[in-house]
Amino acid sequence: MPADPYFKKTSTRKMLGECPKMRKRISLYSLTFSLPLFIWQVVFFVFPLAFLVALSFWTVKNFRMQPDFDTINWVTMYGRSIFWQSYGLTFAMAAAASVITSILAFPCSFAIAFKLGPKARQLAIFMMVIPFFTSYLVRVYSWQIFLSDNGIINGFLALVGLEKIAMLNTVFATMIGYLTLCFPLVVLLQLFSLMFIDRTLIEAAHNLRCGRLRTVFEVVIPSARVGLVIAALFCFILSFGDFVSPIYLGGGDPTTLSILITDTTKSGQQWPRAAVIALTMIGTLLAVAFAAIRFAYKGREQ
Amino acid sequence: MTKSNILQSGLTRRALLATGAATLATPMFSRRAFAAPTELTMLAWYGHAEPDIVAEFEAENNVKFVPKYYTGGDNMLGLISQSPVGTFDVILSDAEYVQALQQAGYVEELTASDYEIDDYYPEFQNFPGNWSDGKLFSLVTRFGFLGVAYNTDALTEAEASTYNVFWDEKLKGKVGHFDWHLPNLGQISQLNGNANPYDIDAAAWQAVKDKTMSLRPQIGGFFDYGGTFSSLNDGQMLAFAGIGDWITGVLEKNGAKVRSAIPEEGGLQWSECFSIGKGSAKAELAKKWIQYITSAKGQAKSAQMAAYPALIPNQKGWDVLNVENPAEAKRQGMTKDAGNVIEMIRAGRIKNRQWPVQQSLEEWNDFWSEYKGS
């Protein structure tokens, strides 16, 4: 195909010129459908976000928030080492969670996409949906029974004569929690991109004497890149803001940003400072999301 | 009977329908007339408006409590400041927050003679925070001690009789913190020998910070209400700072091997007080409730509250409790025997939990965040 921008421009114009009424009708039609989404976005995202920005400039006197325009909250929070320490740590933990979850989920979604028959695949997809039936909090609490010092895993280790391993209230346990939260979703997202890979590409690779493993890395993964990256991105987003796992499995140690938010509000009603943390988190997630999507679709047009 | 017959007998269709409708509606009207309970809103810690505490009062006064539960004084102040005046009829608050409530004008003044304050132990008749410039704004209704909470399989009572046990080598990674700076730092301040743990100068505050930091390697986690329960219950944490019988008492009743001890360095006291919300349209009924819960009968109930047990300041309440549930009275130390809780207070072993006097609350909280992150 010619990559000449002029060609593209003229062809687009030509198309639009051919059916001028169509364009208007489409926009009215699409407006009807996109309006609810637009209103939803304004009411539940833009408005709260604007409020959060305003709130971060308010001041607190004697437990009462007062509308104000003072940068004190930004200066204070950004000047504290604990904030940056928590930030780095939360970012690293969420990044680790998305890498680990993606690696562990890939064989699973690969097997479901390529090795199972249609019926077994449907069952497997259903199995991945089931975890969403129960509350995440309940699932995390039940992990405590497995991971605690007197729990099921250590009980088993004692039975075979091995020493106890401290698991609960560690970063390891937090990671287990992140996996509990993200694994089914990551598998599903990976699966939907793997299922739509053109099989002829794989056959072609085999015909060209490409080994099985090499086919996975050179054909399957590049073809499913968008889905794999989006799955990892979702895992990052969910883990970055999660409060339940770091507090109930990690024992609140180390302090993640979500824990720091609750700490900040716990003394003196410092919601404006909590807003600073929240906005920093939102900004980070937006940056990561844009970077990830850019990477996912890089070179796709050609 | 035909239609004309009905008409002839003087009963029209309209009359028939009206009578029928009235008959069907009668139970509704009578329900409204006799049963519609008055709703009384209560802002409190969890458990205070549950049936084990309020059912009797509700039945006697045709009242239905509508509770709004909070966790922590800051949460409470936030809820009040964000609600219109008169939203809450009754407010339960920790003693150190009462002054903030009064200063912000969130509570009504109480008339001392309305309540049986004379039945209270003298220490509680002029309870700090309840009074401001000779005016009464809230009434202490229950209290409890904070000390060393410990697993009875792991530690003996003698071992748990000092805060130093938290530094014990065998408890490495097994000491938990209730995640709130005020009780934890207050305890370390007591360990450092500060007579008033919350009124300390800069040097003493620095010493408290240093001592606290030295405890960090021992700490297995920082827990909220639910996490504190579960980690003590399953033996994940063997000792706990910043809590007392209000948590271990509940677990102990359910068979867990945990207890709380008041160490030789002294314990802290939390206290819960009832107030009437500013602008309450049902202030009379709210007053009646406070009269009930501070009376001997209400106090005995409060001591045995299912959500978390507590000590009570009303002497006659002790008498009722000792008749109703002598075992619980003994367990909590509310008997006339030597060494009971009032004697502990009189011996100067217990200090009120309060806000820091020479530092700001923010300074303590900021240090707590740094300690957690270190």
**CATH, residue A249:** 1.10.3720.10
* Integer Cα distance of A214 and A193 in angstroms: 19
Does A52 map to a domain? Answer: no
Residue of B74, B85, B368 to mutate when probing chain A, most A C-beta within 10 A: B74
Residues A144, A277 within the same domain: yes
Q: Would you state the pLDDT for residue B60? A: 95
Q: Would you state the pLDDT for residue B35? A: 67
Asked if residues B241 and B178 have their Cβ atoms less than 8 Å apart, the reply is yes
Residues A156, A95 within the same domain: yes
Q: Would you state the pLDDT for residue A27? A: 73
Only one residue has tokens 């309209």, namely B14
Task: Tell me how close the Cα of B98 comes to any Cα of chain A, in angstroms.
Answer: 13
Q: Would you state the pLDDT for residue A266? A: 74
For chain A, positions 170-229, list CB contacts with chain B under 8 A: none
> DSSP readout, A47-60?
HHHHHHHHHTT-EE
On whether ipTM exceeds 0.85, the answer is: no
- In chain A, how long is the greatest CA-to-CA distance? 80
Tokens of A33: 């459908």
Asked if residues A65 and A272 have their Cβ atoms less than 8 Å apart, the reply is yes
Q: Would you state the pLDDT for residue B290? A: 97
Does A65 map to a domain? Answer: no
Q: Which of B81, B219, B365 faces A253 most closely, judged by CB atoms? A: B219
Q: How sure is the predictor about B26, in pLDDT bands with cuts at 50, 70 and 90?
A: low
B363: how many CB neighbours lie within 10 A of its CB? 15
Asked if residues A135 and A248 have their Cβ atoms less than 8 Å apart, the reply is no
CA nearest B180 in A: which residue?
Answer: A266
> Which amino acid is residue A179, in one-letter code?
L
Asked if residues B69 and B19 have their Cβ atoms less than 8 Å apart, the reply is no
Over residues B250-274, the mean pLDDT reads 95
Are the Cβ atoms of B365 and A268 closer than 8 angstroms?
yes
CA nearest A152 in B: which residue?
Answer: B234
Are the Cβ atoms of B373 and A82 closer than 8 angstroms?
yes
* Integer Cα distance of A198 and A221 in angstroms: 12
B332's torsion region: left (phi>0), alpha (psi -120 to 50) or beta?
Answer: alpha
Closest by CA to B155, choosing from B263, B309, B269, B270, is B263
Tokens of B301: 């109930």
Closest by CA to A168, choosing from B230, B99, B10, is B230
* Integer Cα distance of B247 and B52 in angstroms: 18
For residue B262, the Cα-to-chain-centroid distance in whole angstroms is: 19
Does A138 map to a domain? Answer: yes
Percent of chain B with pLDDT over 90: 79
Residues A168, A267 within the same domain: yes
Residues A99, A217 within the same domain: yes
Residues A35, A157 within the same domain: no
What rounded mean pLDDT belongs to chain B? Answer: 91
Which residues in chain B have Cβ-Cβ distances shorter than 8 Å to A264? Answer: 369
Residues A243, A105 within the same domain: yes
Does A149 map to a domain? Answer: yes
Q: Would you state the pLDDT for residue A10? A: 43
* Integer Cα distance of B154 and B263 in angstroms: 17
Only one residue has tokens 């890939």, namely A106
Asked if residues B90 and B276 have their Cβ atoms less than 8 Å apart, the reply is yes
Closest by CA to A242, choosing from A279, A275, A281, is A281
**Alpha carbon separation from B136 to A95, B58, B107, B293 (Å, rounded):** 56, 26, 10, 17
Residues A20, A95 within the same domain: no
Residues A88, A175 within the same domain: yes
Domains identified in chain B and CATH numbers = 38-143+271-330 (3.40.190.10), 144-269+352-373 (3.40.190.10)
**Cβ within 8 Å of residue A175, ≥6 positions away:** A93, A96, A97, A100
The answer on pLDDT for B180 being more than 50 is yes
Residues A39, A89 within the same domain: no
Residue of B179, B182, B360 to mutate when probing chain A, most A C-beta within 10 A: B179
- In chain B, how long is the greatest CA-to-CA distance? 102
Q: How many residues does chain B have?
A: 374
Burial A135-154 (b: 16+ CB within 10 A, else e): ebeeebbebbebbbbebebb
Does A235 map to a domain? Answer: yes
Over residues B226-249, the mean pLDDT reads 93
Structural domain total, chain A: 2
Residue ranges in chain A modelled with pLDDT below 70: 1-26, 62, 267-268, 300-302
Does A62 map to a domain? Answer: no
Does A107 map to a domain? Answer: yes
HSE at residue B50, side-chain half, CA atoms within 13 A, is: 13
Only one residue has tokens 């929240």, namely A278
Are the Cβ atoms of B74 and A86 closer than 8 angstroms?
no
* Integer Cα distance of A76 and A272 in angstroms: 11
Q: Would you state the pLDDT for residue A6? A: 41
Q: Would you state the pLDDT for residue B373? A: 87
Helix (H, G, I), strand (E, B) or coil at A98: helix
The β-bridge relationship of strands B239-244 and B38-45 is: unpaired
Interface of B with A (CB under 8 A): 72, 74-75, 77-78, 81, 100, 103-104, 173, 176, 179-181, 219-224, 226-227, 230-231, 234-236, 361-362, 364-366, 368-370, 372-373
Domain of residue A107: give its range: 81-297
Residues A23, A159 within the same domain: no
Give the H or E element holding residue A239.
helix A225-241
Tokens of A93: 């933990």
For chain A, positions 119-148, list CB contacts with chain B under 8 A: 141, 144-145, 148
Beta bridge partners of B144: B270
Distance linking the first and last C-alpha atoms of chain A: 9
Does A130 map to a domain? Answer: yes
* Integer Cα distance of A55 and A65 in angstroms: 9
CA angle A262, A267, A273 (to 5 degrees): 60
Question: Is B243 or B12 the better-scoring residue by pLDDT?
Answer: B243
Tokens of A102: 């993606």
Residues A89, A238 within the same domain: yes
Residues A40, A132 within the same domain: no
Asked if residues A252 and B372 have their Cβ atoms less than 8 Å apart, the reply is yes
Q: Would you state the pLDDT for residue A32? A: 80
* Integer Cα distance of B330 and B322 in angstroms: 8
Closest by CA to B344, choosing from B189, B196, B147, is B147
The answer on pLDDT for B141 being more than 90 is yes
B302: how many CB neighbours lie within 10 A of its CB? 23
Q: How sure is the predictor about B329, in pLDDT bands with cuts at 50, 70 and 90?
A: very high
Q: Which of A150, A250, A269 faces B74 most closely, judged by CB atoms? A: A269
Q: Would you state the pLDDT for residue B158? A: 96
